[in-house]
Structure 1
């Protein structure tokens, strides 16, 4: 029997989503699906999420969207974008009968307008307004398949890991999560400037080791200023984007989740620059870790760069609105100008970071 992974959790007998989930379970089982996580009590981690994807032939999300649900959904969308072979032909359906997913979709629509998401999320994260429609949508994808993400390989990945120790006089490492596709010149200039500032202040620069877009510019700025610059990437994304020159350390990982994990492990603070679905995925992972009191995030600040674009639009405005309803005060801070980022990072880092020189 084909296996479908069900997301969402039922919170007791009074949960309004209980009846919808029960009907969905009945219809899926009756249609011949083997159901993973039927009770909504299985936990996903960065270490096991790729395994869960490989085990499943389809993914269904239920009403009552949570931070963790959104992380899983955006992770699957990123997999479609980056042509993850483990997601080939596997449909994702979101049952949005309570409209709780609308703010999440609004973020994706906004990023599409801002140019960091090229695909229409509706083509990949299919929505349904009732349990019966979920079954119809799964059958439609079985017959027609999923659309092409519109990306092509630029080469083969022959990369291996290497590591150079962080200099003794460095005060910490900052991980910059950002777009590897946005090529607008003012964004690239900001990326180079941040990379250079980190190096000049004896702060290591960690990134997703992309060669293009803002990510490539951040690396270029740090490397150009002589900074210790590290990153992690995975083979199938390297084949799409390549690797930057000049890295001090590089951690090759098999999937985007263990890639995130090693970046978090090796960083003392995080800056969320303008980005796309991958950047949203990474930010949600940080927020979930904070809520779980994961030791990997202890004492590590998160700074969201809510940059103003030439049309007067703040880049992360819809995402901040979404997070304000799901996160606690202090989970992240917002910087609206480039020169606010480094002071915010220093203010939030642990006691080993000295005052601004």
Structure 2
């Protein structure tokens, strides 16, 4: 029996989501699907998400999404963008009859216009209005295949893929910069370089997703060329696509994007969210979820969002995302600024 992972939580018998969920459960069960998280009571952990993806045959995201639902959806989106083989031929369905996902769809459209998402989202997932259309869509897109037991992938040989920085004392404090690896606009790239440079000059470590291109590559370059310490984590299938930047003092290979995030968060003292795509959204939402859970990984660690004003469009880069954060009463977990110098000052000061 194929297994579908159902998003969302149900908060008791009076929760308005309960009726919709019951209808979805009825139609899915009637169509021969087994359901994970049927009761809406499962809590996510970064360490086990990839295993849940592997075991699932399809993914359904219900109406009235929570911040956790946004994170789960962003995670699947990133997996599809990066050709995660565990997601190959697995239907992803969004139920949006009440238009409660519209703000997130608007965020995707906004980032497509700014160039950090290049895929048309209709190629990655299907949008339906209700439970009956959901079943027809999921059945039409599901391809049955034999499930194989999958061991953790071997880490690819990284020696020779990047030029190591000279030996360097590990700094007492480090800032993690979450950002785009695809932006090519020189104004954005110059700011990335400046971030790495200032962290280096202040004796603060620079942690990133170890991307070679875009803002991410420039952040590492800025730290490296100015005598700073930098480290990062990446996963085999992305390394094969993009390579690694020169100048890393430490590299922490991980099997999947979730344990990659976990080690970066664990080893950082503050977080700077720069312009990025769905991967950056995923990382920010993970930080907010961990804050909500009072997780020790993010205890007393500042999160600063750099809401850059784009010179070409005259729009603030993260405005649609900030609206989602505010509408979910999560603004207490982040500091927002449109001034890059102020953003760097804040994360630098809390990391000292």
- In 1, Cα distance between the equivalents of 2:348 and 2:53? 38
Please identify, of 292-301 and 306-315, the stretch whose mean Cα deviation from structure 2 is larger: 306-315
> Which residue matches 1:102?
102
Give the superposition deviation at 1:158. Answer: 2.1
- In 2, Cα distance between the equivalents of 1:114 and 1:292? 32
- In 2, Cα distance between the equivalents of 1:328 and 1:165? 41
- In 2, Cα distance between the equivalents of 1:266 and 1:210? 17
1:35-81 CA-partner distances (Å, limit 9, x unpaired)? 11110111121000000000000001111200001100000000000
Work out whether 1:257 is the aligned partner of 2:276.
no
- In 1, Cα distance between the equivalents of 2:168 and 2:326? 35
Work out whether 1:292 is the aligned partner of 2:287.
no
- In 2, Cα distance between the equivalents of 1:9 and 1:243? 39
Please identify, of 93-102 and 285-294, the stretch whose mean Cα deviation from structure 2 is larger: 93-102
- In 2, Cα distance between the equivalents of 1:184 and 1:346? 25
Please identify, of 170-179 and 76-85, the stretch whose mean Cα deviation from structure 2 is larger: 170-179
Q: Which residue, out of 298, 311, 315, partners 1:313?
A: 315
> Which residue matches 2:28?
28
Query: Could you list the runs of 5+ residues in structure 2 that have no partner in the other structure?
Result: 144-154
Pairing of 1:340-355 with structure 2 (within 5 A): 340-347=342-349, 349=350, 353=352
Give the superposition deviation at 1:163. Answer: 11
1:305-342 CA-partner distances (Å, limit 9, x unpaired)? 11111131111111111111224343111121221112
Pairing of 1:69-80 with structure 2 (within 5 A): 69-80=69-80
- In 2, Cα distance between the equivalents of 1:157 and 1:336? 39
- In 2, Cα distance between the equivalents of 1:248 and 1:328? 35
Work out whether 1:335 is the aligned partner of 2:337.
yes
> Which residue matches 2:150?
none
Cα contact 1:306–1:316 (8 A) shared by 2 = yes
Please identify, of 119-128 and 269-278, the stretch whose mean Cα deviation from structure 2 is larger: 119-128
- In 1, Cα distance between the equivalents of 2:140 and 2:110? 28
Cα contact 1:287–1:327 (8 A) shared by 2 = no
Change (3 A) 1:98 1:163: farther
Please identify, of 262-271 and 124-133, the stretch whose mean Cα deviation from structure 2 is larger: 124-133
Cα contact 1:335–1:344 (8 A) shared by 2 = no
SS of 1:210 mapped into structure 2 = coil
Cα contact 1:176–1:272 (8 A) shared by 2 = yes
Query: Could you list the runs of 5+ residues in structure 1 that have no partner in the other structure?
Result: 144-155
Q: Give me the TM-score of the superposition, normalised by structure 1.
A: 0.90
SS of 1:106 mapped into structure 2 = helix
Change (3 A) 1:128 1:165: farther
Give the superposition deviation at 1:224. Answer: 0.5
Counting matched residue pairs gives: 338
> Which residue matches 1:159?
158
- In 1, Cα distance between the equivalents of 2:303 and 2:175? 10
- In 1, Cα distance between the equivalents of 2:235 and 2:280? 16
SS of 2:199 mapped into structure 1 = helix
